[in-house]
Amino acid sequence: MIGKDPLNRTGSGRRQALFASLRALVTAGALVAGYYLLPLGSAFTAGPVLALVGGIAVLALLLAWQIRRITLSPWPGLRAMEALAVTVPLVVLLFATTYWLMERSVSGSFSEELSRTDALYFSMTVFSTVGFGDITARSQTARLLTTGQMAVNFLLVGVAARLLLNAVQEGRRHRDRSAAGGDDVPPAVR
């Protein structure tokens, strides 16, 4: 087996990258389609706020599960890319849904009436910190939710990105130890 790459990183790696990219695109596409196609109520009550908080909690659990998968994967970089490709659209869409429901329930919460596309656009501009200013939060509740999205964005970009990077590094160490046949070597000896 000398001279052979146990992971066959050239052919199999390209195939894995293709499948990872396709899974990420399909998942992101399904999330966006769900956003546009799911029948949502028009009232902004405690329900949507609880759903947003629950969605963020599910997001944290999903991220923890993804981090575990990344560390055990022979392709940790690809797994991390997939995790980001699901996490970022999910955050943006959770807030877009909340903004849309808020505007339906309390007209004037934003500087203009929001369609689903407008709410998605506003959520994305807040996420990307572009803030064109064409749509702005006017009510105190809308401003609090926008501030909440900014806080979640900082956590996602800072903490989650660091956790994913650490998971990729650990996954690569684990993969390299496995490829070298050092799985049974205790950590103190390494």
Cα 61 to the center of its chain, rounded Å: 11
DSSP β-bridge partners for residue 137: 110
Check residues 43 and 98 and name the one with the higher pLDDT.
Answer: 98
DSSP states along 119-171: HHHHHHHHHTT---SSS-B-SHHHHHHHHHHHHHHHHIIIIIHHHHHHHHHHH
| Number of other CB atoms surrounding residue 64 within 10 Å | 11
The tokens describing 51, both together, are: 């759903």
Rg (CA), the chain: 21
Which residue in 40, 153, 44, 41 sits closest to 109, CA to CA?
44
pLDDT for residue 95 is more than 50: yes
Using CA atoms, how far apart are residues 28 and 24, in angstroms rounded to an integer?
6
State the pLDDT at residue 182: 60
State the pLDDT at residue 9: 52
Q: How many CA atoms lie within 13 A of 84 on its CB side?
A: 19
- Of 44-48, 79-83, 140-144, 166-170, least confident by mean pLDDT is 44-48
State the pLDDT at residue 144: 93
Using CA atoms, how far apart are residues 29 and 139, in angstroms rounded to an integer?
31
The tokens describing 175, both together, are: 């993969």
Percent of the chain with pLDDT over 90: 32
The string of pLDDT tens digits covering residues 4-41 is 444 555 567 788 888 888 998 998 999 899 999 988 77
* Residue given tokens 């203009």 in the structure block: 112
State the pLDDT at residue 44: 61
State the pLDDT at residue 122: 97
pLDDT for residue 111 is more than 90: yes
DSSP β-bridge partners for residue 110: 137
112 near 118, Cβ under 8 Å? yes
State the pLDDT at residue 45: 66
The string of pLDDT tens digits covering residues 125-147 is 999 988 888 999 999 989 999 99
Using CA atoms, how far apart are residues 127 and 88, in angstroms rounded to an integer?
9
Burial of 80 (0-12, 13-18, 19+ CB in 10 A): buried
- Of 47-51, 57-61, 66-70, 111-115, least confident by mean pLDDT is 47-51
Average pLDDT over residues 160-176: 88
